[in-house]
Amino acid sequence: MTVEILRPRDVPLGGLRAIHVRRTLPHRDRSFVGAWCFVDHYGPTQVRAGNEGGMDVPPHPHTGLQTVSWLFEGEIEHRDSGGVVGLVRPGEINLMTAGHGICHSEVSTAATSVLHGVQLWVALPDGARETGRGFEHHAPEVAALPDGAGEARVFLGSLAEVASSPVHTFTPLLGAQLDLAPGARLELTVDAAYEHAVLVDQGEVTLAGSTLSPGHLGCLDPGPDRLALQAGPEGARLILLGGEPFEEEIVMWWNFVGRSHDEIVAYREAWQARSDRFGAVDGYVGDVERIPAPALPGVRLRPRNRRGRTAP
């Protein structure tokens, strides 16, 4: 069993007061884990007066994906053009469906002193990517892991012997937070048809014999029906992701997921023109009204497959 270890790169996120995140997906060697196509990990960051060091992402657009917000610490106010105003809190999933088009803002609240979490994207399959705007919120119960190894919060899909989530996805997926006790050894029953990945937030974890440090994303191809984990002496907190291999090719540029260069051009033009495709966010107050789209590169964007390679 070979573990592919993806190491993060530092990326600024947002507008004028961008926070920095550690990004492991997309990667040049792998585009997806299941339909998971984007993994950002940030914090813990101290937030000072005036939201300095916090998150302030003005309204920006999305197409062809679902966003998954999951926090360990802090609180974020979400507003979107579907009329949803909600809070992201630790241990609660906020899943937004972009589909045909949506825009939203994300701002850490005045109650936040430390900001720490993950932001994840799921690529929608071709048959669902024109679906309407949607939003779901769910607070999963804390479930015991086998053999006293720790606790789990399953926010998407199902983890055998542990728990399931009612949140709807358009492809089979798994998403869970696992908190492992110091030195805990754990064998989980998993779906052999899934790809799986472990993102380490705190501590050190051995996955199938390979050691992962904080920020690392350890990836496994389909095949195993058991997942072997061992925490380091201080315990560990991790995000477990999984899903059936996503065989479609996509073009992902800025905040858009499409299938061709021309689609991305059209999405960008629609956003710049304030098209009804994306709508508008009510109630956001920030340094800028909305984030303008960056310039397109001087070459045609090419689709990428699940192994990170561009289509011929």
In a domain? residue 115 = yes
Report residue 12's pLDDT band, with 50, 70 and 90 as the boundaries.
confident
In a domain? residue 190 = yes
58-115 residue pLDDT tens:
999 999 999 999 999 999 999 999 999 999 999 999 999 999 999 999 999 999 999 9
In a domain? residue 198 = yes
142-181 residue pLDDT tens:
999 999 999 999 999 999 889 999 999 999 999 999 999 9
- CB neighbours of residue 69 within 10 Å: 20
In a domain? residue 254 = no
In a domain? residue 62 = yes
Number of domains comprising the chain: 1
Q: CATH number for the domain including 17?
A: 2.60.120.10
Lookup result for tokens 């053009």 = 81
In a domain? residue 256 = no
Strand positions, DSSP E, 181-308: 185-189, 195-207, 210-212, 217-220, 226-243, 251-253, 256-258
205-245 residue pLDDT tens:
999 999 999 999 999 999 999 999 999 999 999 999 999 99
In a domain? residue 269 = no
Domain that holds residue 75: 4-243
In a domain? residue 114 = yes
Contact status, residue 303 vs residue 260, Cβ threshold 8 Å: yes
Cα–chain-centroid distance for residue 77? 17
pLDDT at 86: 95
